[in-house]
Amino acid sequence: AQKITQTQPGMFVQEKEAVTLDCTYDTSDPSYGLFWYKQPSSGEMIFLIYQGSYDQQNATEGRYSLNFQKARKSANLVISASQLGDSAMYFCAMREPYGGSQGNLIFGKGTKLSVKP
Amino acid sequence: EPEVTQTPSHQVTQMGQEVILRCVPISNHLYFYWYRQILGQKVEFLVSFYNNEISEKSEIFDDQFSVERPDGSNFTLKIRSTKLEDSAMYFCASSTRGQAVTDTQYFGPGTRLTVL
């Protein structure tokens, strides 16, 4: 079973508009973290935002916010006022406890966002 | 702002050759990771490293792979005898508090390995 599901392989958004990138996750552990990374065409992975499973409020970081719906196991990324430089692949990822070390990130397949001028 | 660096940015090698990918994690970070991304696919975990030993490894990380922290700054991934299917982007990452679920891993720019 997929741990992280990103159902939108590609999305288009008009410059200056907001866009929501979907992410659902699967875990039975009560303690986990959710992360979003951006991967421009140059290839690097840029950390954007995280949400802890026990956080009461949705995370925000500048133009990025996370719409965290725990009961639905979704952690959608909202980008407000899209810019041309936002065109990139976006990956949702999760960390969950593994034995004594809460280690690796599990990634979704990504969503390719294209911002139109 | 401190960042993870990786060298080389691109490595081309012949099948069966050994390669060493190098990473310099962020200086006050204690936990180090390698991930790989085959072209067009999702990022996959390879191995995590703490206190000079492997913490966790995936099934991808077989006997052909090894990691080392040869000095106080470098963190290396060695592939002993490369195969065509090892062609991928390899990312190094580091973090401060690997034991915490919400500990953030910061990634380097990646090394694109091409095996011919």
pLDDT in tens, B60-115: 999 999 999 988 789 999 999 999 999 999 999 999 876 677 788 999 999 999 99
Average pLDDT, chain B: 92
Please give the pLDDT value at position B99: 65
Per-residue pLDDT reduced to its tens digit, A66-104: 999 999 999 999 999 999 999 999 999 998 766 444 568
Q: Do A43 and B55 touch (CB under 8 A)?
A: no
Long-range (24+ apart) CB contacts under 8 A made by B50-55 are B50/A101, B50/B98, B55/A101, B55/A103, B55/B31, B55/B98
**Cβ-nearest to A47 among B42, B44, B106:** B106
Kindly identify which residue of chain B lies nearest to residue A95, measuring between CA atoms: B101
Is residue A32 within 8 angstroms of chain B, CB to CB?
A: yes
Can you say whether the dihedral through the CA atoms of B8, B108, A63, A80 is positive or negative?
positive
Which of B32, B43, B99 is the best residue to mutate to test the A interface, defined by the most A CB atoms within 10 Å of its own CB?
Answer: B43
Please give the pLDDT value at position B100: 73
Q: Do A107 and B89 touch (CB under 8 A)?
A: no
Q: Do B42 and A101 touch (CB under 8 A)?
A: no
Kindly identify which residue of chain B lies nearest to residue A99, measuring between CA atoms: B56
Average pLDDT, chain A: 91
Kindly identify which residue of chain B lies nearest to residue A49, measuring between CA atoms: B104
